[in-house]
């Protein structure tokens, strides 16, 4: 049976220690490197891909940018029924179906849209709203705050097409010394 495991270890390990640790994982076929600076992560990936023991077992190493998808191929083929609102448009061969994979006690697979979970299971779903508070210097305009957010989330599409509203810009001009700007970054899961 194929499994996906997550291992967490000291952030203070160096490239050599990390390489030794990964090499010792005898059955590992895919490694996803996260939480590091881009240049050192690339060097570690390149080093791992040159390690004879890892090359011999055909290990793949990924070092995605923040929020970048990683598609890990599995050789085992499974058949799943697609139900509910995902059926409205039948996928073509080779298309990806984005949904929730449900597995019953007989190991039968079903894929449904997250909104359809309660329809096809005894489970109920809830929406979780989250907010992030970023400390910003006082007396910043909405344009300056937006610039900070666009820089902070540069690898995301989140603020790509966002512009401050006209009302916010007018408030900046009218009350430049006393205006308080607040931009809430929120999303639903």
Task: List the catalytic residues.
Answer: 12
Which tokens belong to 154? Answer: 């540069």
- Number of Cβ atoms within 10 Å of the Cβ of 123: 9
76: Cβ contacts below 8 Å, ≥ 6 apart: 2
**Could you tell me which of 57, 35, 62 has the C-alpha nearest to residue 46?**
62
Question: Which secondary structure element, helix H or strand E, spans residue 82, and what is its range?
Answer: strand 80-82
* 3-state SS track over 28-46: CCEEECCCCCHHHHHHHHH
């Amino acid at each position: 049976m194929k499994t996906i495991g997550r291992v967490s270890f000291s952030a203070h390990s160096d490239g050599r220690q990390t390489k030794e640790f990964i090499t010792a994982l005898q059955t590992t076929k895919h490694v996803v490197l996260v939480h590091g600076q881009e240049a050192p992560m690339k060097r570690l990936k390149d080093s791992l891909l040159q390690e004879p023991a890892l090359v011999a077992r055909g290990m793949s190493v990924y070092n995605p940018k923040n929020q970048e998808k990683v598609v890990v191929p599995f050789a085992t083929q499974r058949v799943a029924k697609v139900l509910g609102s995902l059926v409205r448009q039948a996928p073509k061969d080779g298309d990806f179906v984005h949904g929730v994979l449900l597995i019953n006690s007989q190991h039968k697979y079903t894929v449904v849209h997250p909104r359809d979970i309660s329809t096809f299971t005894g489970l109920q779903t809830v929406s979780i709203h989250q907010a992030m508070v970023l400390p910003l210097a006082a007396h910043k305009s909405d344009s300056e705050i937006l610039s900070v957010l666009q820089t902070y989330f540069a690898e995301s599409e989140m603020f790509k097409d966002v512009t401050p509203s006209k009302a916010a810009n007018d408030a900046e001009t009218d009350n430049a010394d006393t205006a308080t700007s607040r931009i809430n970054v929120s999303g639903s899961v």
